[in-house]
């Protein structure tokens, strides 16, 4: 990082000062000034990342411990798209002296899968944007100047598998007077069933309807700011990985059998309250998936609805990628070496 800071002092700061002088001559250029400042700071961030990764690669090549089992086969340059932008760094291929196996040990240290072109932070940014807006906006990677295709965004969304909610160690079960389970569905349009062109139409209507179901559990409502209401415990626990899907899968059968009764208007008694399913469907699913004309595949719709619910529960996309990092952790530690 030392060299990056020196470069910034020598070139970056003068650029900022020059831009400031230009802005002071014409204050209406604030937007242009902001864009230029962003570019300069992103360049600094990319230089810092490059320097760190380059040092790791050099440490591997010089490591006595590494040289016992591995020898350098060849060197190349790797390009990696991060949240800050694209960095290019030395990429050394090692060959095992006994087995003949070839490997890029730097990738294992950095937690990168073979042929990876996106860093973990870039993937997280991509998933966050895909959950909130569209594949098109997600492809622009809002943090930096890099861009991927919409197909790349789609592939990453379809690969997600939201981790299950685990009970916190030592946590005590809370007792509540009422626990509400509510469910509803949203209707979306499919682009195709199994392959493009297999949608059948009759009198202008196609058989491409698909239902996305939503089930949520809460303790009731409480007053929020203004006239709005919010679920109890929401503000206090939002963002703390709290909302657990405890055995909801086991309750699906029960809900389906009693769906007619659940949907019926019932007498308002103690503990019985109006349902908020329509607003939840609108807020969680429809806002992204059916409020605008768009078509989906079954796999894409299922994965994106899963991602939306995961995001609305206050959890971060980084957690979706954490399981893969943990699985690679053992192999990663095996090749982590220090300078000797």
Within a domain: 296: yes
Within a domain: 208: yes
Structure confidence at residue 337 as a pLDDT band (50, 70, 90): very low
Within a domain: 143: no
- 217 has pLDDT over 90: no
**Half-sphere exposure of residue 287, counting CA atoms within 13 Å on the CB side?**
14
- 124 has pLDDT over 50: yes
Within a domain: 125: no
- E strands, the chain, in order: 70-81, 86-96, 102-103, 180-190, 201-202, 205-206, 209-218, 221-223, 229-231, 295-296
Total domains present in the chain? 2
- The answer to whether the CB of 329 falls within 8 A of the CB of 251 is no
* Residue 254 CA to its chain's centroid (Å): 32
Same-domain check for residues 313 and 175:
yes
- For 84-105, the pLDDT digits (tens) are 888 999 999 999 999 999 999 9
Same-domain check for residues 96 and 223:
no
Within a domain: 180: yes
Same-domain check for residues 107 and 177:
no
- For 60-85, the pLDDT digits (tens) are 999 998 999 999 999 999 999 888 88
| Token pair in block for residue 25 | 């001559």
Residue that wins the pLDDT comparison between 75 and 195: 75
Percent of the chain with pLDDT over 70: 72
Within a domain: 161: no
Same-domain check for residues 110 and 213:
no
- The answer to whether the CB of 177 falls within 8 A of the CB of 280 is no
The partner residues of 215 in beta bridges, in order of sequence, read 183
Q: If you average pLDDT over every residue of the chain, what do you get? A: 77
Within a domain: 145: no
Global pTM value: 0.63
Range of the domain at 245: 170-317
Check residue 219 and give its pLDDT.
83
Structure confidence at residue 48 as a pLDDT band (50, 70, 90): very high
Same-domain check for residues 204 and 67:
no
192 exposed, middle or buried (CB, 10 Å; 0-12, 13-18, 19+)? middle
Within a domain: 297: yes
């Amino acid at each position: 990082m030392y060299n990056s800071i020196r470069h910034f002092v020598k070139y970056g700061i003068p650029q900022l000062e020059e831009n400031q002088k230009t802005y002071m001559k014409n204050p209406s250029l604030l937007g242009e000034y902001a864009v230029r400042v962003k570019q300069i700071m992103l360049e600094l961030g990319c230089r810092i990342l490059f320097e760190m990764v380059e040092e790791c690669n050099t440490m591997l090549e010089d490591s006595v411990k590494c040289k016992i089992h591995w020898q350098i086969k060849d060197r190349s340059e790797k390009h990696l798209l991060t949240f800050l932008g694209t960095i290019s760094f030395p990429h050394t291929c090692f060959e095992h002296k006994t087995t003949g196996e070839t490997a890029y040990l730097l990738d294992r240290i950095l937690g990168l899968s073979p042929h990876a072109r996106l860093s973990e932070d870039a993937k997280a940014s991509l998933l966050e944007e895909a959950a909130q807006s569209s594949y098109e906006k997600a492809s622009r990677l809002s943090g930096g100047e890099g861009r991927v295709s919409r197909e790349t965004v789609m592939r990453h969304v379809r690969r997600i598998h939201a981790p299950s909610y685990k009970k916190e160690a030592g946590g005590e079960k809370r007792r509540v007077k009422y626990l509400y389970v509510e469910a509803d569905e949203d209707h979306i349009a499919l682009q195709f069933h199994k392959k493009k062109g297999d949608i059948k139409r009759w009198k202008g209507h196609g058989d491409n309807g698909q239902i996305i179901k939503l089930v949520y559990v809460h303790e009731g409502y409480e007053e929020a700011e203004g006239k709005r209401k919010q679920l109890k415990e929401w503000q206090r626990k939002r963002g703390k990985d709290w909302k657990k899907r405890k055995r909801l899968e086991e309750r699906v059968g029960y809900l389906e059998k009693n769906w007619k009764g659940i949907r019926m208007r019932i007498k308002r008694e103690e503990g019985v309250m109006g349902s908020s399913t329509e607003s939840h469907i609108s807020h969680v699913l429809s806002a992204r998936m059916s409020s605008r004309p768009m078509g989906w595949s079954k796999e894409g719709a299922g994965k994106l609805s899963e991602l939306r619910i995961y995001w609305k529960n206050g959890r971060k996309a980084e957690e979706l990628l954490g399981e893969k990092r943990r699985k690679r952790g053992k192999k990663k530690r095996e090749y982590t070496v220090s300078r000797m």
